Amino acid sequence: MTSQAIAEQPMSKNSVQQKYSGKPILTMTGVRGGYGDADILQGVDMQVTEREIVVIVGPNGAGKSTAMKAIFGLLKVRGGSIVVNGTDIAGWKPNRIVQHGVCYVPQVNNIFREMTIHENLEMGAFLRKGDISESLERVYTLFPDLKERRSALAGNLSGGQRQMVAMGRALMLNPSLLLLDEPTAGLSPKYMEQIFEITRNLRDAGLSILLVEQHAKQALAFADKGYVLAAGSNRHEGTGQELLADREVAEMFLGG
Amino acid sequence: MPFMEFVNFYLMPGIVLGSIYALGAVGITLVFGILRFAHLAHGDLATLGAFAALGVVTIFGVSPWVALPVAMVVCAFMAIGIDKLFYDYLSERPKIIVVMSSLGIALMLRAVVQVVWGVDTETYTRGIVRPDDYWGIRIRDREIYTIIAMFVIVGVLWTFLQKTKWGKAMRAMSDNPDLALLSGVDNRKITMLTWGIVGILCAASGFFLGINTELKPLMGWTMLLPMFAAAILGGVGRVEGAVIGGLIVGIAEETSVLFIPGEYKAAMAFAILLLILLVRPTGLLKGKVL
């Protein structure tokens, strides 16, 4: 990203931009939108900077997943801007957004069941031309379980392994921003811890990650930053530790 | 009844007919799996393929086998064109509207065939071909070629789907269309590719029916039900299932005359379709639920 592009980003009232330093990967400003005519998002501001895990928490229906889908072009954005790597991608089609370095792991139906693990990863690299063996090797290093079972049909795997396939598929394009929609939903504690650990490792390797998570306490504990959404707009924001310590947040969303 | 008589007069014709059904059923299963609707113009597209080959034979005086690849190309472009003009236009509408429009396409294709080639019965070559005897099995060359061609064509398709980037993308689109789009697969290219392949398969199916029997404007339409039965029997979306289903339906139709009057032969496909939908709606190989 050029310095000019940074300068062109809207200087918003969003306090987060002043509070945290680092190169911004994603900046959402006043995003409004929804599936039909009604706006589910009523003006959402968010920022993810380089090498950072940002967690979105909030009650059911707060618009957490919707915010993520808005970034990925899966719903109508009617207002605001979504700047990724210096370019406003609001209104782009998902396949163009993928090429722009954003990969998305949906909460459900996030694997090709009738295809092998290996083919799932190959599909992740569909847009890439040339050799993908290096990325394959990287994903298999991250998820050794998958390498062993690379010829197994993804639909026959356990829930945790499926989630690994889904994340592996998204990583095949070497994205700069990874969107994870409730990656630990329905997983055993063992797998949940494993997914969280991989998420941390990815961050340490230089990736920026935006995470929607129901296990808010566990996720905020290692998140660099958290946003609490309610009724389609920002309610609270802060570092993971700050949010965990906030009494209102704890009472409302973290189950006391 | 001696065993060889059963093989020669019931089993072999059943395998030949089954191979023809299989070629059609594979196309139906691809459309169902990837584009998600029942393509009722499938049989009449096969008719068009058969008559396109006849056109090449009569105009250029070449062997029907030379005309087959030409008919395949004609049908592939026809299928892509029909999609661009009609199905694509309706793609945002409920699927039942697309299905009904494919019925309209079927009637249009048949009308074109009747206008261009007339309503009479035609053949590629005149004269009676006697079957040769191979260790007691009596079979005609064209019947051998039909069976071999079916396995070769489906084998090439299978390899394409398993090994190539675009073949895998087609399977991905059939498996999980939303995720395929998220992975950057271009829906329109997959649709075009699918129709091209479906056109080729239709042409082959119509051609082999024509070379083994006669060419009639209704030839494809009467194949539609057995082809659908074969696709559903094998498991919707499963290419190998469509082949197995096609062979079973073909053999069942030909051997049914041993037990029931020949006029009811065509009802066999219907009976199989009913039975499979009642007993195992996902087909022999686990396919999509309809």
User: What pLDDT was estimated at residue A15?
Assistant: 42
Cβ contact, residue pair B183, A72, below 8 Å: no
For residue A125, give both structure tokens: 């690299």
Q: How far is CA B108 from each of CA A32, B37, B101, B111, B283, rounded to the nearest angstrom?
A: 47, 19, 10, 5, 31
pLDDT at B38 > cutoff 70 = yes
Res. B132 pLDDT band, cuts 50 70 90: confident
pLDDT at residue A201 greater than cutoff 70: yes
Long-range CB contact pairs, B177-183, < 8 A, 24+: B178/A106, B178/A109, B179/A106, B179/A109, B179/A110, B179/A111, B179/A112, B179/A123, B180/A112, B180/A123, B181/A94, B181/A95, B182/A72, B182/A94, B182/A98, B182/A104, B182/A106, B183/A98, B183/A123, B183/A124, B183/A126, B183/A127, B183/A169
In this prediction, residue B276 has a pLDDT band, given cuts at 50, 70 and 90, of: confident
- In B, minimum Cα distance to A74 occurs at B182
The whole-number average pLDDT for the span B129-152 is: 85
Q: What is the pLDDT of residue A1?
A: 41
pLDDT (0 to 100) of residue A8: 43
CA–CA gap between residue B72 and residue B50 (Å, rounded): 9
- ipTM above 0.90? no
Q: Each residue of A111-146: pLDDT tens digit?
A: 999 999 999 999 999 988 888 888 899 999 988 889
Report whether A146 contacts A117 (CB < 8 A).
Answer: yes
Cα–Cα distances in Å, from B90 out to B37, B95, B101, B187? Answer: 12, 9, 9, 15
Query: Is B174's CB within 8 Å of A99's CB?
Result: no
Give B174's contacts in chain A (Cβ within 8 Å): 114
Chain B partners of A65 at a C-beta cutoff of 8 Å?
none
B27 to chain A nearest CA, in Å? 19
CA-nearest residue to B287 within chain A is A114
Q: Is B178 on the interface with A (CB under 8 A)?
A: yes
pLDDT for position A251: 75
Percent of chain A with pLDDT over 90: 29
pLDDT tens digit string along A49-94? 999 999 998 887 778 888 888 998 888 888 889 999 889 988 888 8
Residues A95, B186: C-beta atoms closer than 8 Å: yes
pLDDT of residue A255: 57
Question: What's the CA gap between B248 and B269, in Å, rounded?
Answer: 10
pLDDT top residue among A11 and A224: A224
B179 and chain A in contact, CB less than 8 A: yes
Which of the residue ranges A38-42, A179-183, B165-169 would you say has the lowest mean pLDDT?
Answer: A38-42
pLDDT grade for B92, boundaries at 50, 70 and 90: confident
A77 φ, ψ (degrees, to nearest 5): -95, 120
Contact A111 B176 (CB under 8 A): yes
Q: Which of A98, A115, A122 sits opposite B182 (nearest CB)?
A: A98
Q: What is the pLDDT of residues B198-214, one digit of tens each?
A: 999 999 999 999 998 88
Which pLDDT belongs to residue B161?
Answer: 94
Residues of B with Cβ-Cβ distance to A169 under 8 angstroms:
183
How much is the pLDDT for B257? Answer: 86
pLDDT at A213 over 80: yes
Nearest CA in chain B to A96: B184
pLDDT at B137 over 80: no
With beta carbons under 8 A apart, name residues in chain B contacting A124: 183
Cβ of B176 and A113 within 8 Å? yes
For residue B187, what pLDDT band results from cuts at 50, 70 and 90?
confident
A153, closest residue in chain B (CA to CA): B175
Confidence (pLDDT) at A250 = 75
pLDDT at A21: 60
Chain A: residues touching B (Cβ < 8 Å): 72, 94-95, 98-99, 104, 106, 109-115, 119, 122-124, 126-127, 169, 173
Give pLDDT, residue B252: 92
Look at strands A53-57 and A208-212 and give their pairing: parallel
Chain A contacts of B183, Cβ < 8 Å?
A: 98, 123-124, 126-127, 169
> B137 or A175: which carries more pLDDT confidence?
A175
pLDDT at A2 over 80: no
Number of Cβ within a 10 Å radius of residue B125? 10
Question: Which of A80, A129, A86, A84 lies closest to A103, judged by CA?
Answer: A84
Find, in chain A, the residue whose alpha carbon is nearest to that of B288.
Answer: A114
In this complex, which of A98, A114, A119 lies closest to B184 when CB atoms are compared?
A98
Q: What is the DSSP string of B114-170?
A: HHHH-SS-B-SS-SPPPPEEETTEEE-HHHHHHHHHHHHHHHHHHHHHHHSHHHHHH
Q: Which of A44, A51, A43, A42 lies closest to A23, judged by CA?
A: A51
Report the mean per-residue pLDDT for chain B: 90
Supply the pLDDT for residue A145.
87
User: How high is the pLDDT of residue A10?
Assistant: 44
pLDDT tens, position by position, A3-59:
444 444 444 444 444 445 678 889 988 888 888 778 888 888 999 999 999 999 888
Least confident of B57-61, B123-127, B179-183, B185-189: B123-127
User: Per the CB < 8 Å rule, is B176 touching A104?
Assistant: no
Proportion of chain A above pLDDT 70, given as a percent? 90
Residue B239 in contact with residue B154, Cβ under 8 Å? yes
A chain contacts of residue B189, beta-carbon cutoff 8 Å = none
User: Closest to B179 (Cβ–Cβ): which among A99, A109, A119?
Assistant: A109
Nearest to A126 by CA among B197, B168, B13: B168
- Yes or no, beta carbons of A98 and B186 under 8 Å apart: no
pTM confidence score: 0.85
Q: Which of B243, B241, B263 is nearest to B253 (CA)?
A: B263
Whether the CB-CB separation of B30 and B192 falls below 8 Å is answered with no
